[in-house]
Amino acid sequence: MKNMKKLIIMSMLFPLSAFAVGSESDELKQEIIELKQRLSQLERTLNKATKIKSPTKKVKHKEITVADVEAKEQPEKTEKKAFSPSIQVGGAISTEIGGYKDKKTKQNYSSNVRNAKLKAYGMVHEDVGFMVEVDFAGDQHKLKKAYVNYFGMAPVEVRIGRFIQDFGINQDDLFPESHPHTCLSEFNETGVRVLTHGERWYSSVGFASNNFGTTKNNEIDQSKTLFLRASYAPIYNETNVVHTGISYAHHMPKSSASKITFKQRFENKFLDDGISASITNIDNIDSYGADLGFIHGPFSIQGEFTEAKVSRLARLRASKLKGGYLQMAYSFTGEQREYDPRFNKFSAITPKENFSFKNSGKGAWELAVRYSHVNLNGKDDLVGGKMKNLSTSLNWYLNKNLNVMFNYIHGKTDKNATIPNNKADIYLVKVNFYF
């Protein structure tokens, strides 16, 4: 190839050189020089064009698929930790001391251990939990709760075992005694309850039986119960809450000989004489309930109303027993009551600062007022009496585990009460410790 290039160039230069020598013209010499420069440039161009490239190794590229891209987008899989069962223990101890007087007792003083609750709860499987609660206060211990939870269908929860019927607002911590109207709805029962919730609502349905179940407010022979509960919070933010709720329960006694006793005392345990109605010849009992709650910063207001319609046998007329309350509370230190719509639950305030001599902490202070009434007077032989109560409570929260309640109750009954036309005044101090 190189010889061929030289031959081409020489063949072009030879006639030009000869012509240039013959004429000896300066112009021709200049043209020859220019031609040589062009030929040199042409030679360089030919060299580049004819240069032999060294062979390169071909690299095979793997074809990228959609599966490869998706795999890269997925986070690295970590080994799933083995489930470890957990058990927690908690409880409450409450002690109260005070004085009281009524038509029967001119003046007296007393003290007692109001609650001595111990509970254990936890998870035995990633989808299975449990709860057991026993109250050791009084002469005999009482099994309050004992059930198994199943969480495998979240947000639906299934409870099987012993529990208190789901009726009305869950729990109240403003007063030493719970709402008086619970005598128409509070039953310890054994059965199954299905509950679920969203961000602002809660609902449950259950079926249970009660074999001589007893609570502090009633006694009931064996019966079966269907109950429903639903609540919703149309307003729920950091400083404002509006709560609404409805409840229904249908009780079916085993036989006409079955007996249900509704009873209520003066919002304390010192005076047991109040109102009481023992009912037989029962076909069924339908209980209806409605409740409202409102929270605005440190101020709250709450109320419930319950009606129990008792349908009877042996040509006895149906009766409607009623009860309800209205209560208000205000925190002088600015704390707000807690509320969780997912569990239908109001809770006590938590102090912004704990009480402390060393750090000059004052805890939290709250004043609560409640008016309540219960009417156990029906038709025919159903005459249990009426009761009204006005209760005030000054609550001091030393910390989230310890509080003290300074409570005054004024109550009165009608002529059909255990003590006819009774009037009572109760002063008490209750100390609550939670753990």
Q: What H or E segment, with its residue span, contains residue 404?
A: strand 402-413
Q: Would the pLDDT of 54 be above 50?
A: no
Residue 71 has pLDDT above 60, yes or no: no
H-run or E-run covering 229:
strand 223-236
CA 289 to chain centre: 22
Q: Answer whether residue 366 is part of any domain.
A: yes
Concatenate the DSSP letters of all residues of 128-162 into one string: EEEEEEEE--SSS-EEEEEEEEEEEETTEEEEEEE
Task: Assess if residue 87 is contained within a domain.
Answer: no
- Take residue 208 and report the two structure tokens written for it: 């249970």
Q: Which residues contact 297 (CB under 8 A, 6 or more apart)?
A: 239, 334, 336
405 occurs within a structural domain? yes
3-state secondary structure of 245: strand
User: pLDDT tens, 83-98?
Assistant: 899 999 999 999 999 9
Residues 396 and 296 occupy one common structural domain:
yes
Q: What 3-state class would DSSP assign to 289?
A: strand
pTM, two decimals, is 0.77
**Cα angle 159-163-164, degrees, rounded to a multiple of 5:** 130
In a domain, 101, yes or no: yes
The per-residue pLDDT for 11 is: 47
Q: Is the peptide bond before 180 cis (omega within 30 degrees of 0)?
A: no
pLDDT-derived band of residue 246, with 50, 70 and 90 as boundaries? very high
Structure tokens at 315: 């040509």
Stronger pLDDT, 324 or 56, i.e. the higher one: 324
Same domain, 96 and 39: no
Q: Do 281 and 368 belong to one domain?
A: yes
38 in the same domain as 97: no
248 and 385 co-located in one domain: yes
Higher pLDDT, 48 or 18: 48
252-289 tens-digit pLDDT: 887 776 788 888 888 888 887 889 998 888 899 999 99
With 50 as the cut, is the pLDDT of residue 107 above it?
A: yes
Specify the pLDDT at position 217. Answer: 53
State the CATH number of the domain containing residue 327.
2.40.160.10
Q: Is residue 307 part of a domain?
A: yes
What residue type is assigned to position 84 of the chain?
Answer: S
Please give the span between the terminal C-alpha atoms of the chain, in angstroms, as a whole number.
Answer: 102
Name, in order, each residue with C-beta under 8 angstroms of 355's C-beta and a sequence gap of 6 or more: 361, 362, 363, 396, 398, 399
Residue 80 has a pLDDT of: 62
Residues 245 and 315 in one domain: yes
**163-212 pLDDT tens trace:** 888 899 876 689 988 888 788 887 777 899 999 999 999 999 999 887 54
Q: For residue range 369-403, list pLDDT tens digits in order.
A: 999 999 999 999 899 999 999 999 999 999 999 99
Q: How far apart are CA 269 and CA 137, in angstroms?
A: 12
Let me know whether 26 and 102 are in one domain.
Answer: no
Decide if pLDDT at 22 tops 80: no
Same domain for 33 and 98 = no
Q: What is the pLDDT of residues 119-133, one digit of tens each?
A: 999 999 999 999 999
- Give ∠ CA 424-428-429 in degrees, rounded to 5: 170
pLDDT classification of 20: cutoffs 50, 70, 90: very low
Q: What is the mean pLDDT of residues 146-166?
A: 93
Ranges of beta strands (E only) in 239-382 are 240-253, 260-264, 275-279, 282-296, 299-312, 319-331, 338-340, 345-347, 364-377
- Provide DSSP, 353-393: S--BTTTTB--EEEEEEEEEEEEEE-STT-EEEEEEEEEEE
* 51 has pLDDT over 70: no
Same domain, 30 and 176: no
**pLDDT tens readout for residues 221-230:** 567 889 999 9
299 belongs to a structural domain: yes
Q: Mean pLDDT for the chain?
A: 84
How confident is the model at residue 67, as a pLDDT? 45
Domain count, the chain: 2
Going from the C-alpha of 129 to that of each of 123, 161, 171, 192, 197, the distances in angstroms are: 4, 12, 22, 15, 18
Question: Which pLDDT value is given to residue 250?
Answer: 92
User: Where in the sequence is the domain holding 25, given as residue range(s)?
Assistant: 1-44
Q: What is the pLDDT of residue 359?
A: 87
Task: Tell me if 300 is assigned to some domain.
Answer: yes
**Domain assignment present for 357:** yes
Nearest CA to 248 out of 285, 197, 219 is that of 285
Task: Yes or no: say if 395 and 362 are a contact pair by the CB < 8 Å rule.
Answer: no
Q: Identify which of 99, 116, 98, 89 has the alpha carbon closest to the alpha carbon of residue 432.
A: 116
Cross-sheet strand order for the sheet of 275-279? 213-214, 218-220, 260-264, 275-279
pLDDT value, residue 213: 43
Report the range of poorest mean pLDDT among 62-66, 354-358, 373-377, 392-396: 62-66
405 and 267 together in one domain: yes
Assess whether 311 and 401 both reside in one domain: yes
96 and 35 in a common domain: no
Q: What is the pLDDT of residues 30-41, one digit of tens each?
A: 777 777 777 777
- What lies within 8 Å, CB to CB, of 98 at 6+ separation is 109, 110, 111, 268, 270, 407, 426, 427, 428, 429
Q: Look at residue 360 and tell me whether its pLDDT is greater than 70.
A: yes
